[in-house]
Structure 1
Amino acid sequence: MHRTILGGALAALLFATAATAAPQADLVLVDKRAQRLYLYQGQRLLAAFPVAFGAQAQGHKQQEGDERTPEGRYLLDYKKADSGYYKAIHISYPNAADRAAAAARGVSPGGQVMIHGQRNGFGWAAALTQRFNWTNGCIALRNADMEQVWQAVAPGTPIVIRP
């Protein structure tokens, strides 16, 4: 009898956990012109969030220090909970084409481009900071929005960043 009660309770707990788990995105789409990040599962839009970019938001990232956010197709390859910002997910920039283009110009392509929340300790300032492009080329969200993205995105998820 204890097994039946315990088994039923465990099944109910597992069902409740599965029912409240965040849907998993299989694509992140960023539209720089609209200043939005979209989470998709197949063709279904899961969520959309306002974002801020690098201070020079127009155009594809060309080199380290240009304060541009890359454009194109990349992967979200790892998560960093201990970032200087409220959580961070690394974008696989630079790819081979980015490295070759930078090498042809004799410059470093840069790297460490992330999706992240607000600088640690400054989450309260998001109402102000999210009104302008302030990063060095990253994609910034309010902390509450970053938490939703963090829960919905697994390493290996593709990201497409459109102009």
Structure 2
Amino acid sequence: MKRRAVLSLVLAAVASACSKFQSYRGPEVTRIHVLKGQRQMYLMHHDQVLKAYGIGLGFAPVGHKQFRGDGKTPEGAYLIDRRNPNSEFHLSIGISYPNAEDRAFAASQGKSAGGDIFIHGKPRKYRNAPQDWTAGCIAVSDEEVEEIYAMVRNGTPIYIHP
């Protein structure tokens, strides 16, 4: 009986250590800044940089996303609005693109603005992809997205700059 209890505790500890879900007890991330041209993302606590990450972008990285399938990463002010713990891309954190202005512009051109823009990891099948490989998302390593997932809350503003 003791052996089973010890084994259960060991297995629980191993499973916990291997979990993609981390905890974070540091300063609140009050906003995120993405500098597309520099391929950098900064998690901020007011004016203090908490963490910086090198990033990958959409396969057509220059310019603001306007239409579904254009391969561009949006530019502008958005919010973190959802999270997907079962993402094909390890973990993913949703960005509120498209906003009303994005949808209106695309509609005026007779097109869809697209959607499903996330900060996400880089699964094994994309390990050899070029730096800018997504359909418009912001990509970091799986280890980095675990950290970001723990640090960033829904409702956090994200500013994506050219």
Q: TM-score range by the shorter chain?
A: 0.7 to 0.9
In structure 2, C-alpha distance between the alignment counterparts of 1:140 and 1:35, rounded to whole Å: 10
CA shift, 1:123, in A, is: 7.8
Instruction: Specify the code of the residue in structure 2 equivalent to 1:142.
Output: S
In structure 1, C-alpha distance between the alignment counterparts of 2:125 and 2:43, rounded to whole Å: 22
Instruction: Note if contact 1:123-1:143 (Cα within 8 Å) is conserved in structure 2.
Output: no
Which residue of 2 is the match for residue 104 of structure 1? 108
Which residue of 2 is the match for residue 5 of structure 1? none
Which residue of 2 is the match for residue 50 of structure 1? 54
1:56 match: secondary structure: coil
In structure 2, C-alpha distance between the alignment counterparts of 1:123 and 1:86, rounded to whole Å: 12
In structure 1, C-alpha distance between the alignment counterparts of 2:97 and 2:122, rounded to whole Å: 21
Which residue of 2 is the match for residue 17 of structure 1? none
Which residue of 1 is the match for residue 79 of structure 2? 75
CA shift, 1:86, in A, is: 1.2
Which residue of 1 is the match for residue 37 of structure 2? 33
How many residues matched?
Answer: 139
CA shift, 1:24, in A, is: 2.4
Instruction: Specify the code of the residue in structure 1 equivalent to 2:119.
Output: I
Percent identical across equivalent pairs?
40
Instruction: Note if contact 1:123-1:142 (Cα within 8 Å) is conserved in structure 2.
Output: no
In structure 1, C-alpha distance between the alignment counterparts of 2:54 and 2:90, rounded to whole Å: 16
CA shift, 1:69, in A, is: 0.3
Q: CA RMSD for the aligned pairs?
A: 1.5
Write out aligned runs for 1:110-129 (5 A): 110-119=114-123, 122=124, 125=127, 128-129=128-129
Unpaired stretches in structure 1, ≥5 consecutive residues: 1-19
Segments ≥4 residues shifted beyond 6 Å: none
2:28 match: secondary structure: coil
> Is 1:86 equivalent to 2:85 in the alignment?
no
In structure 1, C-alpha distance between the alignment counterparts of 2:55 and 2:91, rounded to whole Å: 15
